[in-house]
């Protein structure tokens, strides 16, 4: 069995949905589990719904109408017969979402977020599944929440592997064609949880691990993994092969092409991952597997924007690392701030932080009580894996550099945006 993942960009309109069939025609269509993300920018649009809802904003209705209209337009392009049951199905998912909001009593943002944002993937998979059926590709639609079980840390849930394995063994048919969602799962009380933004790749890794799949293919609007994001860096080149370790490093430093958690389950069972173009599905793309670190062996450039550079020093000249580091890290953990880079001296300590959950202000009030604190928001963290002099020179040019450091393989620099 193979696992395929089609991201939001690949199904952003009717043409994209039709192209899923073109890909299947070219690469085969049986014994495949297909994960489909929310269409286009639907997850962002649903985030707006959640924030309007929790802020009692009058725009709430407009924001849900926008989502409805966007999907209905796509349906109209795909299904000539306007009486096709898919119209009813999509409408009823949207009314479920509205009912969930009406009945909800919780003010907890992360919980409400997961109960609402999941509709993007539920609608997308319904549309794709119905369209494939219409085109003669019989398939099963699977609610991923029935099989992927997690804890109840909403928006960043951790997988319960034992239960997930058991459910997938029992409920996933390895034959034929299955269509399911990425990103969403459920907790012990069957409330919806999510695995973090861009988490559908991770879902592909989970399904592949639990079904002992032969491979995972992620279908993209780029030819594969490039040595830099083409929207940011010039003259990027395709990497034809990357080892699991190297891919984990690249993803960790912020290469957005693969979700960082995706590789771990695949590596454990040595399941190869292919990143390929949905426009030219027969091209080789990039394979991530055991073996050579990087082919071709060239510098890889990564940028993470909107980071925070935080520097702490002790008020009493005590050694910061020995005396305070564990406390500082428990605070980062408690406030869900991800640490991207660390640099320290005897009495000071600098970190680059990713504040995905908007908790930095709360963290600051704790830190200010104990340390002298300096920080700069909206900085970019640049990383070059396998750097050389020329690569560093081209990156540093015209930047206002705040900090840099390098190890044998990795050069990092923080600069103002």
Q: Which residues bind ligand ASP (CB under 6 A)?
A: 7-8, 37-38, 43, 120, 182-183, 197-200
- Rounded to whole angstroms, how far apart are CA atoms 99 and 117? 14
Q: Print burial letters for 162-180: b (CB count within 10 Å at least 16), e (below 16).
A: eebbebbeeebeeeebbbb
- The least CB distance from residue 9 to ligand ASP, in Å, is 9
Query: Which residues face 274 on adjacent strands?
Result: 217, 287
End-to-end CA distance of the chain: 45
Cross-strand partners of 262: none
Residue number with CB closer to ligand ASP (200 or 383): 200
Nearer residue to ligand ASP within complex by CB, 258 or 288: 258
What is the rounded CA–CA span in Å between residue 134 and residue 344?
A: 61
Kindly tell me which of 7 and 224 has the beta carbon lying closer to ligand ASP: 7
Q: Cα(399)–Cα(413) distance, rounded to whole angstroms?
A: 10
At closest approach, how far in Å is the CB of 393 from ligand ASP?
35
Tell me whether residue 7 or residue 285 sits nearer to ligand ASP (CB atom).
7
Do strands 177-181 and 32-36 pair parallel, antiparallel, or not at all (unpaired)? parallel
Q: Which of 240, 212, 33 is nearest to 139 (CA)?
A: 33
Q: Which helix (H) or strand (E) holds 68?
A: helix 60-78
Closest separation in Å from C-beta 257 to ligand ASP: 12
Q: What is the CA radius of gyration of the chain?
A: 23
Instruction: Tell the smallest beta-carbon distance from residue 180 to ligand ASP (Å).
Output: 13
Bridge partners of 2?
A: 32, 215
CB 27 to ligand ASP: min, Å:
21
Q: Which is nearer to ligand ASP, 19 or 43 (CB)?
A: 43
**Minimum separation from the CB atom of position 144 to ligand ASP (A):** 12
Residues sharing a CB contact under 8 Å with residue 108, sequence separation 6 or more, in sequence order: 154
- For CA atoms 184, 186, 191, 196, the dihedral sign is negative
Cα dist from 91 to 68, 75, 119, whole Å: 8, 11, 11
Is the N-terminal amide bond of 296 cis, ω within 30° of 0?
yes
Choose between 42 and 64: whose C-beta lies nearer to ligand ASP.
Answer: 42
β-bridge partners, 375: 310
Q: 390: which residues sit within 8 A by CB, 6+ positions away?
A: none
Sign of CA dihedral 226, 228, 231, 237: negative
Give min distance, CB of 185 to ligand ASP, in A.
Answer: 12
Alpha-carbon span 162 to 294, nearest angstrom: 33
CB of 274 or CB of 371, closer to ligand ASP: 274
Alpha carbons 364 and 168: distance in angstroms, whole number:
43
Residue whose CB is less far from ligand ASP, 38 or 251: 38
Q: How far is the CB of 184 from ligand ASP (least distance, A)?
A: 8
Least gap, CB of 265 to ligand ASP (angstroms): 16
CB of 198 to ligand ASP, least distance (A): 4
Q: To which H or E segment does residue 251 belong? A: helix 244-253
Alpha-carbon separation of residue 293 from 230, 411, 412 (angstroms): 22, 17, 20
Q: Which is nearer to ligand ASP, 356 or 386 (CB)?
A: 356
Q: Report in angstroms how near the CB of residue 203 gets to ligand ASP at its nearest.
A: 8
Closer by beta carbon to ligand ASP, 117 or else 395 = 117
Strand partners, 220: 277
Closer CB to ligand ASP, residue 68 or residue 356? 356
């Amino acid at each position: 069995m193979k696992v395929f993942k089609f991201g939001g960009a690949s199904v952003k309109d009717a043409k994209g949905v039709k192209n899923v069939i073109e890909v299947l025609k070219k690469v085969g269509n049986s014994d495949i589990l297909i994960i489909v993300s929310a269409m286009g920018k639907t997850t962002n649009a649903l985030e707006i719904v959640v924030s309007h809802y929790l802020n009692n904003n009058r725009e709430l209705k407009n924001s849900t109408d926008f989502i409805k209209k966007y999907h209905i337009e796509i349906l109209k392009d795909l299904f000539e017969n306007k009486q096709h049951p898919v119209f009813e199905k999509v409408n009823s998912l949207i009314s479920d979402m509205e009912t969930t909001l009406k009945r909800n009593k919780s003010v907890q943002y992360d919980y409400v977020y997961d109960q609402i944002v999941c509709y993007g993937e539920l609608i997308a998979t319904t549309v794709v599944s119905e369209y494939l059926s219409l085109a003669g590709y019989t398939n099963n639609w699977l609610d991923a929440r029935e099989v992927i079980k997690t804890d109840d840390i909403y928006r960043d849930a951790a997988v319960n592997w034992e239960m997930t394995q058991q459910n997938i063994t029992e409920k996933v048919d390895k034959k034929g064609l299955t269509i399911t969602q990425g990103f969403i799962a459920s907790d012990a009380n069957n409330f919806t949880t999510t695995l973090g933004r861009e988490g559908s790749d991770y879902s592909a890794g989970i399904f592949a691990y639990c079904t002992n799949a032969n491979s995972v293919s992620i279908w993209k609007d780029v030819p594969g993994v490039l040595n830099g994001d083409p929207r940011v860096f010039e003259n990027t080149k395709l990497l034809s092969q990357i080892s699991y370790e190297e891919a984990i490093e690249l993803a960790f430093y912020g290469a957005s092409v693969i979700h960082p958690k995706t590789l771990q389950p695949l590596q454990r069972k040595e399941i190869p991952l292919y990143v390929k173009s949905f426009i030219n599905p027969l091209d080789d793309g990039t394979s991530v597997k055991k073996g050579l670190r990087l082919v071709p062996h060239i510098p890889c450039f990564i940028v993470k924007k909107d980071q925070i550079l935080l520097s702490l020093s002790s008020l009493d000249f005590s050694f910061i690392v020995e005396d305070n580091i564990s406390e500082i890290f428990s605070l980062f953990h408690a406030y869900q701030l991800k640490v991207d880079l660390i640099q320290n001296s005897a009495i000071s300590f600098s970190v680059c932080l990713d504040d995905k959950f908007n908790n930095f202000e709360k963290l600051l009030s704790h830190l200010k009580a104990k340390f002298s604190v300096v920080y700069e928001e909206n900085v970019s963290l640049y990383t070059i894996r396998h750097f050389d002099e020329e690569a560093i020179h081209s990156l540093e040019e015209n930047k206002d550099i705040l900090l840099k450091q390098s190890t044998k393989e990795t050069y990092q620099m923080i600069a103002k945006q």
